[in-house]
Structure 1
Amino acid sequence: MQSLNGKVAIITGAGSGIGQRIAHLLAERGAKVVVAASRRESAAGTEASIRAAGGEVVSVFGDLADASVPQAIVDAAVAAFGKVDILVNNAAVTDAATLVKDANIADMDGATWERVLKVNIIAPALLCKAAIPHMIAADGGSIVMIASGRGLQGDLGLPAYGASKAALINLALNVATQYGKQGIRANSLVVGMVMTPSVAAATEPEMLELFMGHHLTPYVATPDDIAEPVAFLASDAARFITGATLAVDGGMTSHAAPFADVMRISAGAGMIKQD
């Protein structure tokens, strides 16, 4: 458990799910937290729960598709706490209305691409633009991008989401390269299935079993499994780690494509014992 005492952290998409847990954990480790979310009520809800637990926190809300919002988030952090040390670019388009259109490339319209790319990659880039000068003034900082296995693989759906996550990984590499000598670190987490309450509610048992078959771990992730690596990368314990792309996906992106099928066939033939 690494201390984040004295540090100021911005977490986007912190109104629920993974972002909410990251915000809570960083506050528990001693950081002063800026909760950023798309809706006032979700931002305020996370702010209230962190404050009730004894954390120092402010919240700000706004649609990241609006290019003025990233600067407003950083301005809120500096106004409240005087500096920025940590930026966690976690927010992404997850609303069903957009995701259902992010499907077959030949059928997708420009508005869908624009919406996903504005929130998932342009906003993180603008947050970096706004935060980096303050980090340099504070003698350094850590930026963590919450990417996805979809940024490393092709799939039957979500091409805009996947392209944006691939771009997010590359953004981290460029930030690490351009600003490393000024004390700025930037790293990405490649995240797989995470059982947030909304994911758990929407995932049928058959689909969960399918995903479990492709994990190398005997379980899928909870938000804590993502928040802990973020807290580490944000801390001074990770001071020599930058430009890294860390898979936090239960091994989903590490193995050959037919892994689950081979396991099933081998188990059926009595070659591999499965508990």
Structure 2
Amino acid sequence: MQDFYRMDGKVALVIGGSTGIGAKTAQLLAHRGAKVVVAGLGQSDIDKTVSEIEAEGGTALGVLVDLADESAVADCVQRTVDTFGALHALHANAAATGKEALANDVVLADMDFAAWDYVMTINLRGLALAAKYSIPPMIKAGGGSIVFSGSGRGRQGHLEYTAYGVSKSGVEGLSRYVATQYGKDGIRSNVLEIGLIMTDAVRGNVPEQLRDLFLQHHLTREFGRPEDVASAAAFLLSDEARFITGVTLPVDGGMGSHASVYADQRRMMSDLATMGA
């Protein structure tokens, strides 16, 4: 049986690929044979990820890109094609998750819309630009696959990170439009609805008490790792997923699959069992 998980002969662009989920995706794609462009902010992080890929025998190129700058996004895609001759896969993974962006992302009535605009520029407009400039060379290459990084916050209402959540709702809509408009050109587009993953950004920005609260609502016994999301992204980018497009795949430990009272009900049942004993 043919191993479709292999990516030999493929060229992949991972935007937001220098750290966390993106870095693990870039490393996995390279391990499976793809030539990978690691794009993001922070030259030292990009260089580190590229070096790790090359140390394992993979092929990678690092590119600085600011998703707020349309010309920089276009140049990133063009450099990918100029260097490796084609483009077959895009993981559009970048998001505004810095401390300042998250600190200013408050409830709507208190929102400074400069902060709102910044989040939308990176999380939604930036990913749309990445797709816009990637689609033509993918069509030229005979087809391709796009995976957008979404979030459970795009599906459910929350008490904080308003702009982030709304932007991720937009990403799901964006992916469906890409899948619909370019499916007959050989382009597939899907979204990973990502839950709370133990990245450095989460450890640095999400209080431990809140992390513990989320874990109570997971159906798994532990938090997800960046490698877990990378595996899902690599699958959707591979030919193994050739008949999957226009969908949103939760990678959230079951967080979004159950009734909202799940954790409270478990505590109540535990308390009753203790009383009965």
Question: Normalization by structure 1: what TM-score?
Answer: 0.95
1:168-199 per-residue CA deviation (whole Å, 9 max, x = no partner) reads 11111000000001100000010001012342
Is 198-207 or 165-174 further displaced after alignment?
A: 198-207
Q: Which of 219, 224, 227 is the matching residue for 2:222? A: 219
1:265 is aligned to 268
3-state SS of the aligned residue for 1:72? helix
2:250 is aligned to 247
Q: Could you tell me how far 1:48 is from its partner in structure 2?
A: 1.4
Q: Report the CA distance shift for 1:113/1:208 in structure 2 as closer, same or farther (over 3 A).
A: closer
1:177 is aligned to 180
1:7 is aligned to 10
Equivalent runs, 1:219-238 vs 2, <5 Å: 219-238=222-241
2:112 is aligned to 109
Q: Which of 139, 143, 148 is the matching residue for 1:136? A: 139
1:16 maps to 2:19: yes
Q: Which of 150, 157, 160 is the matching residue for 2:160? A: 157
Answer whether contact 1:39 1:62 (CA < 8 A) is retained.
no
2:34 is aligned to 31
3-state SS of the aligned residue for 2:147? strand
Is 205-214 or 246-255 further displaced after alignment?
A: 205-214
CA distance in 2, matches of 1:198, 1:255: 26
2:68 is aligned to 65
1:83 is aligned to 86
3-state SS of the aligned residue for 2:164? helix
Amino acid at match of 2:19: S
Q: Could you tell me how far 1:30 is from its partner in structure 2?
A: 0.6
Answer whether contact 1:7 1:84 (CA < 8 A) is retained.
yes
Q: Could you tell me how far 1:209 is from its partner in structure 2?
A: 2.5
Superposition RMSD on alpha carbons, in Å?
1.4
Answer whether contact 2:66 2:73 (CA < 8 A) is retained.
no
Q: Which runs of 5+ in 2 are unaligned?
A: none
Q: Could you tell me how far 1:205 is from its partner in structure 2?
A: 4.4
CA distance in 1, matches of 2:112, 2:200: 31
Percent of aligned pairs with the same residue?
46
Amino acid at match of 2:113: G
CA distance in 2, matches of 1:143, 1:248: 17
CA distance in 1, matches of 2:189, 2:65: 24
Q: Could you tell me how far 1:207 is from its partner in structure 2?
A: 3.0
CA distance in 2, matches of 1:121, 1:202: 21
Equivalent runs, 1:195-214 vs 2, <5 Å: 195-200=198-203, 203-214=206-217
3-state SS of the aligned residue for 1:211? helix
1:45 is aligned to 48
Q: Could you tell me how far 1:202 is from its partner in structure 2?
A: 5.1
Amino acid at match of 1:66: D
1:97 maps to 2:105: no
1:22-57 per-residue CA deviation (whole Å, 9 max, x = no partner) reads 110010011100000112222122111111111111
Answer whether contact 1:12 1:90 (CA < 8 A) is retained.
yes
CA distance in 1, matches of 2:120, 2:110: 17
Amino acid at match of 2:170: A
Question: Normalization by structure 2: what TM-score?
Answer: 0.94
CA distance in 1, matches of 2:29, 2:224: 19
1:47-99 per-residue CA deviation (whole Å, 9 max, x = no partner) reads 11111111111011122112222111101111110111000010000111111
Q: Which runs of 5+ in 1 are unaligned?
A: none
CA distance in 2, matches of 1:48, 1:220: 28
